[in-house]
Amino acid sequence: MATRLIGPGDYYDSGAPAANGGTLKDYIEDNSGNNWDGRNIYSGQGGFYDLNASIMSKLYNSGTTYQGQDTNGYYEWWRPLNRKKALPLYPSYASNSDIFSSSNRQLFPHPQLATCGFYLDPNGTVPASGYSFYVVGLCQAIPSSDRCTVDRLNVREAKERIEWARQCGLRQNIGSPSRWFDTGELALDQSTTLKDYSEAVVPDDRRYSGSGVSYEINAAYVSALYKSGTSAYQALDAQGYYKWGRDPSLVRQRPLYPIFGTSPDINSGALLTPGTGSDCNLYNGATPVTSFYVNKYCESVY
């Protein structure tokens, strides 16, 4: 949506009721009458370029549809977990709408989905500069042990995991509450600057926060529980550590919780089970491990 310059308020009202109240809002990538072959359209022609409807048909079987807003303020839809397709569909892209054209080139998204651009190779080393792109088909995913599905948490459990990771990062890797660094960013009340704690000083196989927040504990905590905001509130917790929060209106409906593995590469390591409460170990089965990595942050379920 950002690439198509569609703002959060550029929705249309489908008129269909959302299961949690109101009517479902959607976004159109382009006018199918003016762009009949789907040039530079991410969603494909099957859904008439309606983004949320397109996502639903790929990820879910039919059923009641819920609606909320994502971290950027866009309306997003979802259905109950038991309506998710076991093998979802994903779009395949090419440089020509005619998949059989001799000049057609298969195009690949960035391997980590770091950009909205396309590449001529699956490793994301050769940008597809100058090429238009088209959805030329929908492919069915192959069975896999998706870590977020295996380590599935509801909202309450996700909040407990997020707090556990914060507490363990502080106790195991920081120690004294005075070992903070000054981010230089003003707190929301303008009275002081935000203080954080960095796990970057400890071995990379013993950190409880992820690389996406530079292994900074409060940044990881607040981004997992809240949507993005201009800054944060700050206070001291019961142990004397600085702790951040944001306005209640920015609380995520489905918090993002960390999952851990034996390797920094999620595809090559084993999934680990965190301890609970004051137990900061991670377990491979019943055995505590000495090395672990945050592999990704997963969205909790209702």
Q: What is the pLDDT of residue 144?
A: 41
Averaged pLDDT, 22-44: 89
Q: Are 39 and 52 in contact (CB under 8 A)?
A: no
Where is pLDDT greater, at 254 or 48? 254
158 and 103, same structural domain? no
124 and 20, same structural domain? yes
Q: Are 79 and 65 in contact (CB under 8 A)?
A: yes
- Give the helix/strand (H/E) hosting 66: strand 66-69
* Residue ending a domain, choose from 109, 144, 179: 144
Averaged pLDDT, 171-190: 95
Domain boundaries, position 133: 12-144
Q: How far apart are CA 224 and CA 218, in angstroms?
A: 10
Confidence of residue 47 (pLDDT cuts 50, 70, 90): low
Confidence of residue 5 (pLDDT cuts 50, 70, 90): low
Question: What confidence tens digit (pLDDT) does each residue in 182-221 have?
Answer: 999 999 888 899 999 999 999 999 999 998 899 999 999 9
| pTM confidence score | 0.55
Q: What is the pLDDT of residue 46?
A: 65
> What average pLDDT does the chain have?
91
Residue 3 included in any domain: no
Residue 1 included in any domain: no
197 and 261, same structural domain? yes
108 and 32, same structural domain? yes
Residues 6+ apart with CB under 8 A from 133: 39, 40, 93, 94, 95, 107, 118
Q: What sign results for the dihedral spanned by CA atoms 6, 112, 97, 90?
A: negative
Confidence of residue 268 (pLDDT cuts 50, 70, 90): confident
Given a cut of 80, whether residue 48 has pLDDT beyond it is no
Q: How far apart are CA 128 and CA 108, in angstroms?
A: 9
The total number of residues shown for the chain amounts to 302
Q: What is the pLDDT of residue 1?
A: 55
185 and 136, same structural domain? no
Which residue type is seen at 301? V
133 and 48, same structural domain? yes
Assigned token pair, 86: 């076991």
Confidence of residue 150 (pLDDT cuts 50, 70, 90): confident
Given a cut of 70, whether residue 177 has pLDDT beyond it is yes
- Domain count for the chain: 2
In sequence order, which ranges of the chain are alpha helices (DSSP H)? 51-59, 147-150, 155-168, 217-225
* Residue ending a domain, choose from 144, 166, 183: 144
The CA-to-CA distance between both ends of the chain, in Å, stands at 26
* Residue ending a domain, choose from 144, 173, 189: 144
Question: What confidence tens digit (pLDDT) does each residue in 91-143 have?
Answer: 999 999 998 999 999 999 987 787 899 999 887 889 999 999 999 999 987 54
247 and 116, same structural domain? no
